[in-house]
Amino acid sequence: MALLDIRNLDLRIARGSELLPVVQGVSFAVEENETLGIVGESGCGKSLTALAIMGLLEGSAVRIAGGSVHFQGRDLLTLSPEERRRVMGDQMAMIFQEPMTSLNPVYRVGDQIREAILQHRSMSRRQAHDRALDLLELVRIPDPVRRIDSFPHQMSGGQRQRVMIAMALACDPKLLIADEPTTALDVTVQKEVLELMRGLQTRTGMSIVLISHDLGVISETCDKVAVMYRGRIVEQASTSTLFSNMSHPYTLGLLGSIPATDHDVEWLDAIPGRVPTLDEAVPGCAFHPRCFAAKGSCRTVDPGAAAVSPAHFVRCHFPQGSSS
């Protein structure tokens, strides 16, 4: 049984009197000790999916319109808020893009980590303090004994993200959801943070859902990848399968959009046009207005997810690669 199993998740956002779909029919599973990457551009629904898993959509304009989120065999969407709170932070934890705004600037980082521990574990403050120290060491903050009394603004961006990871790991979660954890960081720091996350995974055996717009980050870190476009998963496969046999024109377009650093390309294969806004309805396949392979049926019929090979799903009438 998968640790996290999401089936047909539907999310809608309230716009005036209308409910516009923002995530449609999203299904994926994450096994223990596995890393799933969700890649897509802004507004594709990848972050909303994460927030839905964490139960953080309450009070927002986004409603869960259907589907199930099974975690360790229990459907999180049917739990009471109280039961849910017990799971969150204890069994699963989340880290965000901006480590400055996720930390409270008026408390020392040690106190914040300790609070995170004490919310789910009963132990003395002394023990919690020692645990916080261990965690800072675990995320390789140099000189943790001194750093535990620092305020967030006294740390660099990379260090703050390490503190966030330490807080997330406070209760040995089974699942870590990381929403663009390295986007605000420099490449050299990004490399260190990603290496840290991989190392922690090997040590603790946790599963990770890594959300990113960067195919490079995904390819280096993840076992499986789900590519999202306009609220749907358009392609899903193991990382090696996906990169050796990309089938959806959007995935290919994303790859073609990234300028290489190890060879020269004259022109980038950019995807034309732009992502339609939420209130622009697109009949048929949502990607067809920008797709190089679009033909008649793409304009009218929304393609379902089909397997091009075992465990490689594509939502496209004319998947590339496999046929040629």
Partner 1 sequence: MTRPLLEVRELRTYFSIGRGGFMRRKSVLKAVDGISFSIHEGEVLSLVGESGCGKSTVGRTLTQLETATAGTAMFDGRDILNLTHAEFRPLRRDIQMIFQDPFASLNPRLSIEQMLAEPLFIHRLVRDRSEARERIAATLELVGMDAKSMNRYPHEFSGGQRQRIGIARVMILTPRLVIADEPVSALDVSIQAQVLNLIKQLQRDSGVSMLFISHDLGAVRHISDRVAVMYRGALVETGEKRQIFETPRHAYTRKLLDSIPRLEKRIA
Q: Are 312 and 247 in contact (CB under 8 A)?
A: yes
Min dist. Cβ of residue 304 to partner 1 (A) = 24
CA 52, chain centre distance (Å) = 11
The C-alpha atoms of residue 44 and residue 230 are separated, in whole angstroms, by 4
Q: Which residues bind partner 1 (CB under 8 A)?
A: 41-42, 186-188, 190-191, 194, 213-217, 219-221, 239-240, 243-244, 253-262, 264-265, 267-272, 274-275, 277
In the block, residue with structure tokens 């989120």: 69
* Nearest one of 211, 207, 219 to 176, comparing CA atoms: 207
Please, is 45 exposed, middle or buried when counting C-beta atoms within 10 Å of its C-beta (0-12, 13-18, 19+)?
A: buried
Min dist. Cβ of residue 148 to partner 1 (A) = 25
Question: Considering beta carbons, is residue 113 or 271 the nearer one to partner 1?
Answer: 271
Min dist. Cβ of residue 114 to partner 1 (A) = 30
- In degrees rounded to 5, what are phi and psi of residue 221? -110, -25
Q: Enter the tokens of residue 169.
A: 């790991």
Question: Considering beta carbons, is residue 23 or 215 the nearer one to partner 1?
Answer: 215
Min dist. Cβ of residue 270 to partner 1 (A) = 4
Question: Considering beta carbons, is residue 152 or 253 the nearer one to partner 1?
Answer: 253
Min dist. Cβ of residue 41 to partner 1 (A) = 4
The C-alpha atoms of residue 180 and residue 98 are separated, in whole angstroms, by 9
Question: Considering beta carbons, is residue 101 or 300 the nearer one to partner 1?
Answer: 101
Strand ranges in the chain using DSSP code E only, listed in sequence order? 4-15, 18-30, 35-39, 62-71, 74-75, 92-95, 175-179, 207-212, 224-229, 232-238, 306-309, 312-314
List of residues 6+ apart from 51 with CB closer than 8 A: 57, 60, 62
Strand order across the 4-15 sheet: 18-30, 4-15, 62-71, 74-75
Min dist. Cβ of residue 99 to partner 1 (A) = 14
Identify the three-state secondary structure at position 157: helix
Min dist. Cβ of residue 260 to partner 1 (A) = 6
The C-alpha atoms of residue 9 and residue 64 are separated, in whole angstroms, by 8
Question: Considering beta carbons, is residue 146 or 274 the nearer one to partner 1?
Answer: 274
Min dist. Cβ of residue 123 to partner 1 (A) = 38
Question: Considering beta carbons, is residue 190 or 236 the nearer one to partner 1?
Answer: 190
Min dist. Cβ of residue 193 to partner 1 (A) = 11
3-state helix, strand, coil in the chain (%, to 5): 35, 25, 40
Question: Considering beta carbons, is residue 110 or 181 the nearer one to partner 1?
Answer: 181
Question: Considering beta carbons, is residue 194 or 285 the nearer one to partner 1?
Answer: 194
Find the farthest-apart pair of alpha carbons in the chain and give their distance in angstroms, rounded. 68
The C-alpha atoms of residue 297 and residue 244 are separated, in whole angstroms, by 27
Question: Considering beta carbons, is residue 24 or 251 the nearer one to partner 1?
Answer: 251
